[in-house]
């Protein structure tokens, strides 16, 4: 990740340079993608900063949040975590072990599958994820405070459309140069 995408003035300067060198290329489209990358990186940085006082990384937060969203008894399977959290199975095991060591989750026997070991939030884990969720959702509201409800709806729709385009074009991205 370069700083260019995170600072709009730098990105605009680079766009002007690319337009001068390659006026036939869709530079403005690339700038929009660069802005999205920069916004994502800046949002990620804010999120990571919020987790530091709690000695959590983003993946650990995501595991706790996934378990919390399941409702009582706040259990989640490794399979669901692998589906929802961007992580390999080996890294997930390491992450889960850290959360167990911190007493935020525990392994519990499955009621339906003796081979499966679901994970469950502990009381400490539940209290922490509830506190973090409030803080992070309030930050999201603060970041978007200058947007009207209509603008938020438009932004959600437009970002979903970009995501759809990325999903459709992922095969095209693998073409060779």
Map out the domains of the chain as residue ranges: 1-54, 55-143
Q: How does residue 150 score in pLDDT terms, banded at 50, 70 and 90?
A: very high
Which position has the higher pLDDT, 149 or 169?
149
Q: What percent of the chain has pLDDT over 70?
A: 93
pLDDT of 175 higher than 60: no
What is the 3-class SS of the chain, one letter each residue? CCHHHHCHHHHHHHHHHHHHHCCCCCHHHHHHHHHHHHHHHHHHHHHHHHHHHHCCCHHHHHHHHHHHHCCCCCEECHHHHHHHCCCCHHHHHHHHHHHHHCCCEEECCCCCCCCCCCEEECHHHHHHHHHHHHHHHHHHHHHCCCCCHHHHHHHHHHHHHHHHHHHHHCCHHHCCC
Q: What is the mean pLDDT of residues 43-50?
A: 92
Arithmetic mean of pLDDT over the chain: 90
Say which residue, 124 or 34, is predicted with more confidence: 124
Q: What is the pLDDT of residue 63?
A: 96
Q: Which of 36-40, 124-128, 164-168, 170-174 has the lowest mean pLDDT?
A: 170-174
What class, spelled out in words, does domain 55-143 have in CATH? mainly alpha
Mean pLDDT of 78-104: 94
> What is the pLDDT confidence band of residue 94, given thresholds at 50, 70 and 90?
very high
């Amino acid at each position: 990740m370069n700083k260019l995408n995170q600072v709009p003035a730098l990105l605009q300067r680079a766009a002007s340079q690319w337009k001068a060198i390659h006026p036939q290329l869709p530079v403005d489209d690339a700038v929009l993608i660069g802005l999205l990358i920069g916004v994502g990186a800046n949002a990620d940085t804010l999120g990571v900063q919020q987790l530091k006082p709690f000695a959590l990384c983003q993946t650990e937060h995501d595991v706790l949040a996934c378990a919390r969203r399941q409702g009582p008894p706040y259990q989640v399977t490794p399979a669901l975590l692998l589906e929802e959290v961007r992580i390999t199975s080996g890294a997930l095991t390491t992450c889960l072990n850290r959360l167990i060591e911190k007493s935020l989750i525990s392994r519990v026997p499955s009621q339906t599958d003796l081979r499966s070991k679901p994970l469950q939030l502990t009381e400490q884990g539940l209290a922490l994820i509830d506190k973090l969720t409030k803080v992070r959702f309030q930050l999201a509201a603060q970041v978007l405070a200058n947007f009207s409800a209509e603008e938020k709806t438009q932004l959600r729709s437009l970002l979903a459309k970009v995501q759809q385009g990325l999903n459709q074009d992922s095969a095209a991205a693998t073409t060779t140069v």
